[in-house]
Amino acid sequence: MNIFVAGATGVIGIPLLKLLRDAGHAVTGTTRSSGKIAALEALGVCGVVADAFDPETLRRAVVAARPDVIVHQLTDLPDVSDPAQMAVVREKNARLRIEGTRNLMAAAEAAGVSRVVAQSIAFVYAAGLKPHREGDPLESGAAQRMTIAGVVALEDAVLRSPGIDGIVLRYGRLYGPGTWFDRPGGAGSLTTAAAAHAALLALTRGAPGLYNIAEDDGEFSIEKARRELGFDPGYRMP
């Protein structure tokens, strides 16, 4: 298939590109930096510079790629976690989830794309009985208001775009190469390899909707992802 990966140079994007290449897919991947194009090309990817906040440039890139499926892995996170900057980080990431997703879904509609697989997060459920399932309510407190607004906007845009089968992967807290954590940081963790593999599986598997993607430690129910996607939280890169 022809796959368009938005956010191709992120911590999930890079392992995903390798899995897509090894599976024989043709891939176009976006980056905001022209300096990263060579790294994408080295992975056999057609790299394009496209800012998710520039709707016209993004639309042209998607239309030109003519993808069968779009994978949304856009984030705006620093390489190193700085607690003093977390309020700014949350605001920037929420803006990307809101505006960037809206622009990407508009581009998908313009290109006639029928399936979009998008990255969301699982660690926003309201306190309640565990493991949390996809239908459980999300937090509503002031501390998470900005993050929840971004998550809700992203998920609504992906799941409610007419004519598009939207798959939203609610990832656990990532750990591994390039992330903020070398090892699991608590309940509901997930390796970048398992996250990328879930996105690969979702290209062709699963009905439209939400899927918890995390390690099976009792925090989040991954029964639906196991059943419909064939998700394996123990997956590691070859």
Q: Is residue 236 part of a domain?
A: no
**Contact call for residues 107 and 59 (beta carbons, < 8 A):** yes
**Distance separating alpha carbons of residues 21 and 72, to the nearest angstrom:** 17
Angle between helix 13-22 and 192-202 (nearest 10): 50
pTM: 0.95
Tally of structural domains, the chain: 1
Query: Residue 89 pLDDT > 90, yes or no?
Result: no
- Which secondary-structure segment (H or E) carries 58? helix 55-65
Q: Is residue 160 part of a domain?
A: yes
Q: Is residue 139 part of a domain?
A: yes
Q: Is residue 72 part of a domain?
A: yes
Q: Which two tokens stand for residue 186?
A: 């608590």
> What pLDDT does 76 receive?
84
Q: What percent of the chain is modeled with pLDDT above 90?
A: 86
Q: Is residue 201 part of a domain?
A: yes
**Contact call for residues 49 and 39 (beta carbons, < 8 A):** no
**Contact call for residues 7 and 75 (beta carbons, < 8 A):** yes
**Distance separating alpha carbons of residues 216 and 188, to the nearest angstrom:** 8
Q: Is residue 10 part of a domain?
A: yes
**Distance separating alpha carbons of residues 119 and 102, to the nearest angstrom:** 14
> How many Cβ atoms sit within 10 Å of the Cβ of residue 81?
12
Can you give the CATH number for the domain in which 171 is found? 3.40.50.720
Query: Residue 178 pLDDT > 90, yes or no?
Result: no
> What pLDDT does 129 receive?
95
Q: Which two tokens stand for residue 81?
A: 């976690």
> What pLDDT does 238 receive?
87
> What pLDDT does 143 receive?
65
Residue 145 belongs to what domain range? 2-229
Q: Is residue 237 part of a domain?
A: no
Q: Is residue 79 part of a domain?
A: yes
- The band of 186, judged by pLDDT with boundaries at 50, 70 and 90, is confident
> What pLDDT does 142 receive?
67
Rounded to 5 degrees, what are φ and ψ at 13?
Answer: -60, -45
